[in-house]
Amino acid sequence: MAILVTGGAGFIGSNFIHEWFAGGGEPVVNLDKLTYAGNPRNLAGLPASAPHTFVHGDIADRELVSALLRQHAIRAVIHFAAESHVDRSIHGPEDFIQTNIVGTFRLLECVRAHWEGLDAAARSAFRFLHVSTDEIYGSLGPADAPFSETTRHQPNSPYSASKAASDHLVRAYHHTYGLPVLTTNCSNNHGPFQFPEKLMPLVIHNALAGKPLPIYGDGRQVRDWLYVGDHCSAVRRVLESGRPGEVYNIGGGSERPNLEVVHALCAVLDRERPRTDGIGYASQIAFVKDRPGHDRRYAIDARKIERELGWRPAETFESGIERTVRWYLHNEAWVREVTSGEYRAWVATHYAP
Ligand code: NAD
Ligand code: DAU
């Protein structure tokens, strides 16, 4: 038996696979389309003996997915694959609809057929874990309570709307067909292998390259940051012990305004790799035009996963960003490779004055 991981050559999926094998997990079939965000080199460090099968393909390919489920006797699906970047969804939403909604729907259909063909014991042990985001809940005011699992869905970007649609489909497959699904809604992750179009790796990369550190709007938008290893441990815990049909919010309890996040990154860089002219990296901060419809604040109430499953993050905001910065400093070849080509075209279009 094996688990099927979708999107396992992206940021969180590849971290999950590394941690899965470090924890002695069973074989993994990793289905990934390798969009610009997918990079097989994220998995180059796996031990040669790791039972990892990489399959280059689309979650929307019914024949391929059905064959993988059957041939590998899949007992659980961990669904990370998605178009994940809010800014790209604003420039071009079509891919987000296709992968996040249509792709998730087709995957669910294949999984349902596979699950219905299992014997009673295997059916009850089977799990479909849908990895989703806090962005489906919309935006909070400064005094609002953090998002709980019962907060109304109010997505504001094409990305978050497409993820909310996928959450609804997953829920419906449990309610209608009894498919044993689990949904996780997590806050902003950071850590190794994150594509440098997202805030933290972008800032680290630009700082070292002597480029501006772009802050959208006034930089006072708040996100709740979580080290990716903690997200992976939470997903594993939910897979092992979560109750089918339930939603679990995952967060770091680390709300920070973007400007503070960038200053914190600059402080770590000043210590670890000071500029040769003695000036702090924060001098590179540049305010740029705001993201359209930019959500003001996200915050997660993660008491349910703590109470029911005993999960808490291991890293604080400070210890997490130290690890993240150090990883990028020690993996400059990885950054060089992913920042070539298509990424440059994106930066030229998106940050054009
Ligand atoms: P990512 O963009 O780094 O990786 C996504 C992966 O999915 C890539 O490897 C890509 O090639 C693959 N993919 C895209 N379309 C596909 C398709 N049609 N078929 C197969 N593979 C496809 O994203 P990420 O940041 O690792 O996010 C993973 C999941 O976690 C997403 O579902 C995202 O919504 C969710 N999430 C992310 C964060 C975050 O902070 N990054 C936070 C909460 C939830
Ligand atoms: O909240 C979870 C979400 O976090 C995930 O669902 C998404 O997949 C993931 O991409 C992330 O979305 P964000 O839009 O919050 O992440 P991003 O890193 O793009 O931006 C973080 C904040 O920083 C956000 O308020 C926008 C701001 N920002 C971002 C960039 C790229 C800037 O100020 N300047 C920038 O150049």
Ligand 2 site-directed mutation target among 157, 218, 223, most atoms within 8 Å of CB: 223
Nearest atom in ligand 2 to the alpha carbon of residue 84 is 8
Q: Establish whether 230 is a catalytic residue.
A: no
Nearest CA to ligand 1 atom 41: 189
CB under 8 Å to 165, separation ≥6 — which residues? 100, 101
Q: Is residue 147 part of a domain?
A: yes
User: Ligand nearest 195 Cα, by number?
Assistant: 1
Ligand nearest to the CA of 193: 1
C-alpha distances in Å from residue 232, one per residue of 12, 68, 162, 284: 7, 23, 22, 33
Q: From ligand 2's centre to the CA of 282, what distance in Å?
A: 19
Quote the domain boundaries for residue 60.
Answer: 2-190+224-254+293-314
Average pLDDT of the segment spanning 264-270:
98
Q: What's the domain count of the chain?
A: 1
- Per-residue confidence at 343, pLDDT binned at 50, 70, 90? low
Count of CA atoms in the C-beta half-sphere (13 A) of 254: 26
Selected catalytic residue, list 137, 159, 173, 298: 159
Tell me what pLDDT residue 337 has: 87
Ligand of minimum distance to the alpha carbon of 285: 2
As a whole number, mean pLDDT of residues 247-272 equals 97
338 within domain boundaries? no
Tell me whether residue 299 is in a domain: yes
Tell me what the mean pLDDT of segment 213-231 comes to: 98
pLDDT digits (tens, 9 = 90+) for 66-102: 999 999 999 999 999 999 999 999 999 999 999 999 9
pLDDT by residue (tens digit) across 159-190? 999 999 999 999 999 999 999 999 999 999 99
Give pLDDT tens digits for 93-134. Answer: 999 999 999 999 999 999 999 999 999 999 999 999 999 999
Is 135 annotated as catalytic?
yes
Percent of the chain with pLDDT over 90: 93
pTM value is 0.98
Provide the pLDDT for residue 160.
Answer: 98
Flag whether 232 is in a domain. Answer: yes
Q: Find, among 30, 80, 75, 37, the residue nearest to 56 by Cα.
A: 30
Instruction: Point out the least confidently predicted range of 86-90, 271-275, 315-319, 344-348.
Output: 344-348
pLDDT of residue 49: 93
CATH number for the domain that contains residue 164: 3.40.50.720
The answer to whether residue 332 is domain-embedded is: no
**Annotation says 298 is catalytic:** no
In short, whether 185's Cβ falls inside 6 Å of ligand 1 is: no
Kindly state whether residue 278 falls inside one of the protein's structural domains.
no
* CB 69, CB 131: distance < 8 Å: no
The pLDDT of residue 352 is: 77
Is 301 a domain residue? yes
Alpha helices, H only, the chain: 11-22, 62-71, 86-91, 94-96, 104-116, 120-125, 158-177, 199-208, 228-241, 258-272, 303-309, 317-330, 332-338, 342-350
**Band (17; pLDDT cuts 50, 70, 90):** very high
Ligand 1 contacts CB of residue 80 (under 6 A): yes
Q: Residue 284 domain-assigned?
A: no
User: Within a 10 A sphere around the Cβ of 2, how many other Cβ atoms?
Assistant: 20
Token pair 């003996």 is at which residue?
Answer: 49
**What is the model's pLDDT at position 346?**
67
- From the candidates 32, 135, 230, 315, which is the catalytic residue? 135
Token pair of 346, please? 């994106």
Average pLDDT over residues 299-325: 98
Q: To test ligand 2's pocket by mutation, which of 199, 206, 254 has the most ligand atoms within 8 angstroms of CB?
A: 199
